[in-house]
Structure 1
Amino acid sequence: MKRNFLHISAAIFLLSTLLSGCMNDNAWIGAHRQGQSGQLLSNFGVFIVNEGNFMSGNATLSFYDKATGQTINNLFYATNGLPLGDVGQSMSILDSLGYIAINNSGKIYVINTKTGEYSGKITGLTSPRYIHFVNYEKAYATDLYASAITIFNPATFRVTGTIPTPGHTSTEQMVQVGATLYVTCWSADNTILKIDTGNDTVTGEIKVGTQPKGLVKDKNNQLWVLCDGNYGGTTSGSHQAKLQQVNPETGQIEKSFALSSENIASDLTINATRDTLYFINNDVWQMPVTASQLPAAPVLKNPGTIYYSLGVDPDNSDIYVSDAIDYLQRGLVYRLTAKGVPIDTLKTGIIPGAFCFK
């Protein structure tokens, strides 16, 4: 679902998903735990959401302990006895709770980040993508197909409303500057929506390159957006992939860099001090926000594999890049310093697609 790939199913996980659908999650998990509690997870770790194969119900959650180098795979199932679902998309943390968007299952699972134990779920969603917390009582979830952003209460796990986005079917990543939320509209679109977080309404639009997906805020409160150009698109055709700097106050594009359209441009992120950008364009690239041109060489050269997702540690700017290998077998994640020096390699689930730093 992240890049519209369709893969071969894994029958055992699909069967588990179908069976779990016949039983209330709380009852299912209660029967599995039988008085046992989850293991304590390090406070210095990284959750890795493994997408799994579309329509196979084999998404999983991994946890990597930065101090020991230990990786716990299939954490959600091992702790709760319940499959994570169909296509793990992203994860966000609010205090001690982690919210995991399960795209094709149309729900968000909530876990205790100290143990991995199930805490609840948010349902009634179409195809959730990313989560943004406005405060402790209000959060937003973007959606691939709903033409609306869902509003929910992160404390009660209840949907409280929606923000209609007519004309914009696919909403993606979110960044807040002051009281205004900026949201990328991805599929066959070229728009960043402006939303008033006080009254939950769309107040304006900013036009950027084709298919804006990644969105970050730098140290100067400037927005950076990565537009993938509809790589490999067959309906509306492929366009130039771009990395653009946008002034949120004026809506003007201050800088625009053309990226290689021969490879997927994806996974824009930023370092701990918010002065250096990272993104994938076949290789992994690193660029200061003050740069006037693209770097001459990548920070990590692709040896011929599939660099699929990227994360940068908000504490020390270590780089995490995933390798989907062939989209069928368990993937790898490479951990490197901010300068690209290798630190560790870990084995994860199928298609490691998102990082969430604890």
Structure 2
Amino acid sequence: MKRLLKLCTMLVAILLLQNCTSDDRDIIVDTPPPSGDYANGIFVLNEGGYTYSNASVSFIDNSGQVYNNIFYAVNQRALGDVAQSMAFHEDKAYIVVNNSNTIEVVNRYTFEHIVTVENDILTPRYMTFYEDKAYITNWGDPADTTDDYVAVLDTETNVVINTIPVAEGPDAIVNNNGTLYVAHYGGWGYGNTISVLDSNTETVTSSIQVADVPRNMMIHNNDLYVLCAGKGDYTGHETLGGLYKINMATNQVTNEIMFANGVHPGNLKINDDALFYTLNTEVYKMNLTNFSLPTTPLFNTNTQNMGVLYGFSIINENIYIADAKDYTSNGEVYMYNLQGEYQENYNVKLIPNGIYNNN
């Protein structure tokens, strides 16, 4: 039943996206790219419409100039269907393209295409690196709860050399000196665990119980912080969201906070000794030395007429928020300072979901 509800939600989203204008679906290079230099600025990953193969990447240079559709502009071909996430290793950028079942590898400074990774990639989500390997979470066939895995990629050859079976719905993944932590969002179901993987043996060594739908993880001072959204009321079995602090030396939960009924937090970031998380259109700040939820938000994005707060990053002492609007219109990225004061906005493309620093 849970997967049926998720499938219904996806079908509704597809129907909405089918009402996009042709301009939204077409790949248009509206600003010529800079002359081969993407070294100083930030990338914005735009999902694009599901099944439309119009995912894209925008670049905002340090002067605030926006260059949209840079993958297409440099390589003269589309990026693919649903850009999920992006990660960097040395001089390469790895773009995880979910519905195309590919990893597009480019030079992070010129954005010239290097290779497309396709073998042993099925519904990929996120990736991290340790030494000369990348680890990529894959849902496999979302309707099959038993085929989920972490793909191990050799970063020298860009070939998948192993797959590690894991529980359903592996999503966010982080590395702590060769120990990998995988949050089980749940795929079409609803997960509530963090898998611990040993990169040397490439096996799952333990599992940590958390609240439902762990979505975001951050590492700080040998502690792992996990933000769980909980099941929404639309599931018919609403559960509480939670924030967990896990000691990575013991893999034991040392502190946890449950959110109020009906409160489902979204994104999580850490800057210095402060934790930032989002809730609907609000951003909250929490001091890590005082592990308790704030009673009031740091700021609210309503004054910028935020549609859907979909992406969230902290880069160079600024907060960047991606607005997916109505999922059918081109999005925007808003910049705030760490005090929550609005600074600037940038026009990007369809459904921006992530902001990445390339300075």
**Aligned-pair CA distance for 1:207:** 0.5
Secondary structure of 1:85's partner?
coil
Q: Kindly state the Cα deviation for residue 334 of structure 1 after the two structures are TM-superposed.
A: 0.5
Cross-structure match for 1:251:
251
User: 1:277, 1:223 → 2: CA distance?
Assistant: 12
Alpha-carbon separation, structure 1, partners of 2:100 and 2:247: 36
Contact 2:54–2:78, Cα closer than 8 Å, also in 1: yes
1:339 corresponds in structure 2 to 339
Cα distance in 2, alignment partners of residues 140 and 342 from structure 1: 36
> Is 1:8 the counterpart of 2:8 in the alignment?
no
* Corresponding residue number in structure 1 for 2:277: 279
| Whole-angstrom distance in 1 between the partners of 2:117 and 2:212 | 31
- Tell me the distance in 1 between the aligned counterparts of 2:149 and 2:87: 20
Residues 38, 115 of structure 1: 8 Å contact kept: no
Q: Which amino acid aligns with 1:90?
A: S
Distance 2:263 2:346 in 1: 25
If the length of structure 2 is used for normalisation, what is the TM-score? 0.85
- 2:60 aligns with 64
CA contact (8 A) 1:335 1:342 kept: yes
Q: Is the 8 A contact 2:68 2:349 kept in 1?
A: yes
Provide the C-alpha distance between the structure 2 equivalents of 1:53 and 1:221, rounded to a whole number of angstroms.
38
1:128 aligns with 2:124: yes
Runs of 4+ in 1 over 6 A off after TM superposition: 11-17
**Structure 1: distance between partners of 2:89 and 2:42:** 15
Counterpart residue identity of residue 144, structure 1: W
Deviation (angstroms), 1:344: 1.5
Does structure 1 residue 91 correspond to structure 2 residue 90? no
> Which residue identity lines up with residue 198 of structure 2 in the other structure?
D
> Is the 1:210–1:241 Cα contact (8 Å) retained in structure 2?
yes
Are the counterparts in 2 of residues 170 and 186 from structure 1 also a CA contact under 8 Å? Answer: yes
Letter in 2 for 1:139: A
Quote the Cα distance in structure 2 between the aligned partners of 1:335 and 1:185: 30
Displacement, 1:300? 2.2
Structure 2 distance, partners of 1:336, 1:90, is: 22
Q: Secondary structure at the match of 1:203?
A: strand
Stretches of structure 1 that go unaligned for 5 or more consecutive residues are 18-36
Q: How far has the Cα of 1:258 moved from its partner?
A: 2.5
| In structure 2, C-alpha distance between the alignment counterparts of 1:13 and 1:155, rounded to whole Å | 39
| 1:161 lines up with 2:162 in the alignment | yes
Q: Which residue of 1 aligns with 2:201?
A: 199
Partner deviation per Cα, 1:236-264 (whole Å, 9 max, x = no partner) = x2210111111223333222223355454
Contact preservation (8 Å) 1:231, 1:261: no
* Structure-2 residue corresponding to 1:180: 179
- Deviation string 1:145-172 (CA, Å, 9 cap, x unpaired) is 341100111221111110111xx12111
Change (3 A) 1:62 1:264: farther
Size of the aligned set, in residue pairs, is: 328
Residue in structure 1 matched with residue 348 of structure 2 by the alignment: 348
Q: Partner residue of 1:312?
A: 314
Map Cα deviations across residues 17-63 of structure 1 (whole Å, 9 max, x no partner): 9xxxxxxxxxxxxxxxxxxx983234221111111121221211111
What CA distance in whole angstroms lies between the structure 2 residues aligned with 1:97 and 1:179?
Answer: 20
The answer as to whether partners of 1:211 and 1:228 remain within 8 angstroms in 2 is yes
Q: Which residue in 2 is equivalent to 1:300?
A: 299
1:260–1:281 CA contact under 8 A, matched in 2: no
- 2:103 pairs, out of 108, 114, 119, with 108
Aligned identity (percent) is 31
Please give the root-mean-square deviation of Cα atoms over the aligned residues, in Å.
2.4
1:55 corresponds to = 51
Partners of 1:344 and 1:15 lie apart in 2 by 26
Residue 266 of structure 2 is aligned to residue 270 of structure 1: no
> Structure 2: any 5+ residue segments left out of the alignment?
1-5, 28-32, 141-146
